[in-house]
Amino acid sequence: MIRATALGVAATAVAGWAGPALLRARVLRAAVCPELAGIGRPGSVALTFDDGPDPEGTPAVLDALDRLGWTATFFMLGAQVNRYPEVAAAVVAAGHEAAVHGFSHRNHLARGPADVHRDVARAVAMVRAATGARPTWFRPPYGVLTLGSLSAARRAGLRPVLWTAWGRDWEPRSPAQVADTVCGQLRPGGTVLLHDSDCVARMAGSWQTTVQALPRLAELADQLGCTVGPLRDHLCQ
């Protein structure tokens, strides 16, 4: 009896810890937590990039955004910032927004609360030191939130935000396929997830496809009648 009770308590604790991970389901989070999903001003689309900074991918993305006249939010990995602080600084110097993706790209479901807290705090410190900017937003690796993720973000003064549309641009895909995937999910007021680094991608140089897909996404934004910008403009009005 005691063993069964202990197992029940443990199962409840695990379910509570992992419960927020259910919000990785795009349709569910859009329905129950629209701000977490990145749903903001109906006349805008937020553009976000994960996994940088990258010495090749990030400058190429910055150049493409400059040609389009867009600014975006970059969810940076602290480990990448540590390797390429000058690239992280260039993102903010170009008028874009730095955000936190954690220090290492490890699923929070496989990590304890103290480990997650250290990881997030370390990433925040790295981003601030490299860019001179205080980050506002947090997105966990793989978009998987736990109670530890939420607690760590709150302690660091960060607001968690995921996405409503992604391009699956870390996979072997053409620019048209990336754009078509976004097109099938994106609505006015949504948030797009792309990547400016291939550091955890399934295909080396995947950022090249992302860069080539951006003009196609500009056509989509025009069709939706939406401006494109960073989360600070999209969710903070």
Backbone angles phi, psi at 140, to 5 degrees: -75, 155
Q: What is the pLDDT of residues 6-59, one digit of tens each?
A: 323 333 344 455 677 687 677 777 777 899 999 999 999 999 999 999 999 999
Q: What is the mean pLDDT of the chain?
A: 91
Which long-range CB contacts under 8 A does 201-207 form with residues at least 24 apart? 201/51, 201/169, 201/170, 201/171, 202/170, 202/171, 202/172, 203/170, 203/171, 203/172, 205/56, 206/169, 206/170, 206/171, 206/172, 207/54, 207/56, 207/57, 207/60, 207/61, 207/169
Query: How much is the pLDDT for 198?
Result: 97
Query: How much is the pLDDT for 113?
Result: 92
CB of 97 closer than 8 Å to CB of 232: yes
Q: What is the pLDDT of residues 187-235, one digit of tens each?
A: 999 999 999 999 999 899 999 999 999 999 999 999 999 999 999 999 9
CATH topology of domain 2-234: TIM Barrel (3.20.20)
Provide the sign of the torsion angle of the four alpha carbons 205, 65, 195, 45, taken in this order.
negative
Query: How much is the pLDDT for 23?
Result: 73
Residues with a catalytic annotation lie at 50, 195
